[in-house]
Amino acid sequence: MDKYIINHLRELEAESIYVIREVAAQFERPTMLFSGGKDSIVMFYLARKAFWPAKVPFPLLHIDTGHNFQETLDYRDNLMESTGTKLIVGYVQESIDKGKVVEETGVNASRNMAQTTTLLDTIEEHKFDAAMGGGRRDEEKARAKERFFSHRDEFGQWDPKNQRPELWNIFNGKKKMGEHFRVFPISNWTEMDVWQYIYMEKIPIPSLYFTHKREVFNRDGVWLAKADFMELKSSEKTELKDVRCRTIGDITCTGLTLSKANTLEDIIIEVAATRVTERGGRADDKRSESAMEDRKKEGYF
Amino acid sequence: MENAYKEIEKGYLNMELLRFTTAGSVDDGKSTLIGRLLYDSKAIFEDQMEAIERASVGKGEEEVNLALLTDGLKAEREQGITIDVAYRYFATPKRKFIIADTPGHVQYTRNMVTGASTANAALILIDARNGVIEQTKRHSFIASLLQIPHLIICINKMDLVEFKQERYEEIKKEFSKFAPKLAIKDIRFLPISAKLGDNVVDKSKNTPWYEGPTLMYLLENLHIGGDNNFLDARFPVQYVVRPQSDKYHDFRGYAGRISSGVFKTGDEVKVYPSGFTSKVKGIHFGDKALKQAFPPQSVTITLEDDIDISRGDIIIKKNDTPKIEQDIDLMVCWFNERPLQIRGKYAVKHTTNDVRCMIKDIEYKIDVNSLEKDYDDKVVKMNDICRISIRTTKSLYFDPYTRNRETGSLVLIDESTNETVAAGMII
């Protein structure tokens, strides 16, 4: 019997592909969130595998905070063009201009909260009934209890006490008018799985994930990139360092890792040896013990 | 560095996946055991450890409370209880593990059932001082009902009974008395102390009389290759792939996950409900062509003949017919606050198929503590387990759950609220 065995990455892959196909089959207007980070790159790669030789049967959606690394945008545009995929962009700047959200000010200002408004508005505008995200349960403790199919009410809110039980391979995507689902196809992957998979499948990733020289400054033990819209405290000085991104998010709150990792192999070795979670570098999670849970309840991914 | 690269090729890309469930309450040391497995396999990071240290101190606790690692939601942390299934991950060079961690109270039977539905193994903890209690029986029964192939009974807190072999043997005997009621072939026993680490990762010096493996060794080496059904070829069609491009103009692929059995190119197959037969032309996995596919692979199959197939249909190997029936008996675990309605109508999800059903009758309820059948009580409330009979609007194509966890399982959905109200295992 032992010849019918697949490794852990193939099993995770099979599960994720099943979930993505289930979304395409159960919903009328699904979309897939794409940030240009490694998790959404892997998720989109799985979607292409799921529907080959057809194109991915739904558009991708990017919520653009306006505070991006330029490399991410270039990578995104090239990928959409080479795969012939439709991309929809929701701009946080527009939500701010329309007065739907007030931009945070001060040195720790971030557009992370404002993203939720833009996301919910974009979902409503395009009448999406399911939005897939690259969230993983190992990232944060509120995520550890999230379902694959996460039901959201008409306000886009998550009610952790009223989640639908998920058994076997059966996913219940039934909903009422105005409600939608968030779906997390790579729920069961860890950071290490994602890197191993990128390595195994030789998936191209943005250069930001590899070591490069960048002007950075240290805030509360986290290295942040210098950018035009970043306000520095008087005590903070920029320095040129060898860094790489462990996650890619909004530039204002993405911590950089001091690293000389130049190849995928180097990254895997580094991840294996590291003792801090990847979200440990995300300033947005440090605001309070339940920062992530509170944001999720409001409609964040 | 060169060597490290080779390690990656040899090691990480050669790991198997094992899913297991743990059931129990804080008192029997379950959280401590999970904390230890995570900590010893380096799955707990410094910032997570710092966060729970901060939280423990904030609550005025003297020691770091490992339970805080598994209590994810604010409501749970405030009340000090676990209300839902939490998933945890760790890996050793041999395997990646997914733990479905579920609370053990009676009222959370439904969470245990959820966690058990995809597990290869169930870990059950017994406090060596208390021996087999009602909760032990309840957990074992659910593991058996959900057909978890391997049951690992950890007799914990051995340090509190001076690591006495007599006590260990006594509990083993106690458990073995009711084991015949369970439909689990592989049951293992281990004497451990989760708090001190005896026989968890390293062999204990305190139990020289115990010659078996440690828990970690067992988890790493449990034979799971035979857990899937490789006999009955079943492929529920999930999605029809039609590229409508010039290059693949005539391509019509059936996408899905192999539920059981093995499909090979050239195999003669039959499609239900139409009953048409054909041959497997190709098995596609992304842009790769495979010669065969088996569970749990997700693939796209093409057939030699152009026949009308859509989502919800099932492709099987010719001459290996599943059961085809509208009147179905099943065991269900009820999940909802609204009680089961006899003669009530519910939506059914079975493999990739959607039908409706009416509940005809409740045959009996099972007392999950005594395992006694109750033929008189017909009120089925949340967390109750019972045997019922239903009639579906269309035939289901299924195998008994004991033979096939994929084609033998279904869920019931309340059509007015869209909530999943029951998990069913077809008899």
Q: Which two tokens stand for residue A163?
A: 């989640």
Give pLDDT tens digits for A11-41: 999 999 999 999 999 999 999 999 889 999 9
* B194: Cα separation from own chain's centroid: 23
Beta strand pairing status for B263-264 and B292-293? antiparallel
Residue of A nearest to B87 (CA): A144
Q: Average pLDDT over chain B, rounded to whole?
A: 88
Mean pLDDT of B363-386: 90
Give pLDDT tens digits for B127-154: 999 999 888 888 899 999 999 999 999 9
pLDDT at A199: 92
Q: How confident is the model at residue B80 (pLDDT cuts 50, 70, 90)?
A: low
CATH topology agreement for domains B234-317 and B323-426: yes
Fold of B2-221: Rossmann fold (3.40.50)
pLDDT > 80? residue B349: yes
Say yes or no for a CB contact (<8 Å) between B238 and A25: yes
Q: How confident is the model at residue B299 (pLDDT cuts 50, 70, 90)?
A: very high
Mean pLDDT of B388-416: 96
Using CA atoms, how far residue B18 sits from A12, B97, B120, B146, in Å, is: 11, 5, 6, 16
Q: Is B380 helix (H, G, I), strand (E, B) or coil?
A: coil
Q: Is B101 helix (H, G, I), strand (E, B) or coil?
A: strand
CATH 3.40.50.2300 fits B234-317, yes or no: no
Please, are residues B35 and B66 in contact by the beta-carbon 8 Å criterion? yes
CATH number assigned to the domain with residue range A8-193+290-298, chosen from the 4 options 3.40.50.620, 3.90.550.10, 1.20.120.530, 3.40.720.10? 3.40.50.620
Determine the angle formed by the axes of helices B109-116 and B134-145, rounding to 10 degrees.
40
A175 touches chain B (CB under 8 A): yes
DSSP-derived letter for residue A238 is -
- CA distance linking residue B241 with residue A52, whole number of Å: 8
Please, are residues B413 and B346 in contact by the beta-carbon 8 Å criterion? yes
- CA distance linking residue B286 with residue A49, whole number of Å: 4
Please, are residues B265 and B280 in contact by the beta-carbon 8 Å criterion? yes
pLDDT at B304: 97
- Torsion A113-A114-A116-A119 (CA) sign: negative
Q: Which residues contact A142 (CB under 8 A, 6 or more apart)?
A: A160, A290, A292, A293, A296, B72, B73
Q: How confident is the model at residue A1 (pLDDT cuts 50, 70, 90)?
A: very low
Select the more confidently predicted residue: B189 or B26: B189
pLDDT > 90? residue B352: yes
Site of tokens 């998010």: A249
Query: At the top level of CATH, which class does the domain B323-426 belong to?
Result: mainly beta
Give pLDDT tens digits for A184-214: 999 999 988 999 999 999 999 998 899 989 8
Q: How confident is the model at residue B221 (pLDDT cuts 50, 70, 90)?
A: very high
Say yes or no for a CB contact (<8 Å) between A51 and B255: yes
Q: Which two tokens stand for residue B288?
A: 């790769």
What's the full length of chain A, in residues? 301
Select the more confidently predicted residue: A16 or B52: A16
CB within 8 Å of chain A, chain B residues 176-235: 225-226, 228, 230
Minimal C-alpha gap between A84 and chain B (Å): 12
- Report domain extents, chain B: 2-221, 234-317, 323-426
- CA distance linking residue B240 with residue B309, whole number of Å: 8
Site of tokens 């049967």: A57
- Report domain extents, chain A: 8-193+290-298, 206-285
Using CA atoms, how far residue A228 sits from A64, A219, A252, in Å, is: 17, 17, 10
Q: For the ranges B46-60, B165-179, B254-268, which has the lowest average pLDDT?
A: B46-60
Residue of A nearest to B14 (CA): A7
pLDDT at B24: 66
Q: Quick one: what percent of chain A has pLDDT higher than 90?
A: 42
ipTM value of the model? Answer: 0.92
Determine the Cα angle at B372 with ends B368 and B377, to 5°: 85
Beta strand pairing status for B277-285 and B298-303? antiparallel
CB within 8 Å of chain B, chain A residues 29-58: 48-55
CA dihedral in degrees (A131, A137, A139, A145; nearest 10)? 100
Q: Is B240 helix (H, G, I), strand (E, B) or coil?
A: strand
Mutate to test the interface with B, among A145, A152, A158, A220 (most CBs of B within 10 A): A145
pLDDT at B212: 95
pLDDT at B85: 81
Site of tokens 């087999």: B132
Q: Backbone phi, then psi, for A177, in 5-degree steps?
A: -55, 135
Residue of A nearest to B54 (CA): A289
Region for residue A107 given its phi and psi (left: phi exceeds 0; alpha: psi -120 to 50; beta: otherwise): alpha
CB within 8 Å of chain A, chain B residues 324-363: 335, 347, 349-352
Q: Which two tokens stand for residue B172?
A: 């083993």
Beta strand pairing status for B121-127 and B16-24? parallel
- CA distance linking residue B338 with residue A216, whole number of Å: 57
A240 touches chain B (CB under 8 A): no
pLDDT > 50? residue B189: yes
Determine the Cα angle at B138 with ends B132 and B142, to 5°: 130
Helices H / strands E in chain B, number of each: 9, 23
